[in-house]
Amino acid sequence: MTDDASPATLQRQILSSGPQGFDKTLGLRYVDVTADAVTAEFTVTPALLQPWGITHGGVYCSVVESVASVSGQIWLEATGQAGHVVGVNNNTDFLRAVSEGDLTARSTPIHRGRRQQLWLVEITAASGKTIARGQVRLQNVE
């Protein structure tokens, strides 16, 4: 992050810099970042498949964690609170098997409080069908 960590600056940085760290390995691309929702896209490639030819469940867990964490950090900074967020629980359900294609992950806040946040992230296919969904609890750390 830059020294100017305002929500607007952080949003621009996430949208313009492209994926960083593990998000880059996943091919995660953030397309919309606000304090109330984050939307990201990724393409299922052979590198993301488990030995039986479907997307590895860890991919969905990782996408859910990343999107929720970005959501929580943007919201925390928008409220003027100092600090950062860390994940303390990730519960992801795998609903449909996918071997290829473009998927979209979108976050929705369930609870945003002084100490913790809870975010729902749904991963959908281009058809609109839900492929996976997860909840991530974040701790706000000063």
Q: What is the pLDDT of residues 49-73, one digit of tens each?
A: 999 999 999 999 999 999 999 999 9
Q: CA angle 75-131-25, nearest 5°?
A: 65
What is each CA distance from 11 to 20, 33, 42, 46, 73, in whole angstroms?
A: 14, 6, 19, 30, 10
pLDDT at 15: 75
For the chain, list the domains and their CATH numbers: 7-141 (3.10.129.10)
* CA 47/CA 26 separation, integer angstroms: 9
DSSP, residue by residue, 81-129: --SEEEEEEEEEEE-S--SSEEEEEEEEEEEE-SSEEEEEEEEEETTS-
Q: Is the pTM of this model over 0.85?
A: yes
> Average pLDDT, whole number, for the chain?
92
pLDDT at 6: 58
* CA 84/CA 104 separation, integer angstroms: 25
Q: What is the pLDDT of residues 71-112, one digit of tens each?
A: 999 999 999 998 999 999 999 999 999 999 999 999 999 999
Residue type, 1: M
Cβ atoms 107, 68 nearer than 8 A: yes
How confident is the model over 24-47, as a mean pLDDT? 96
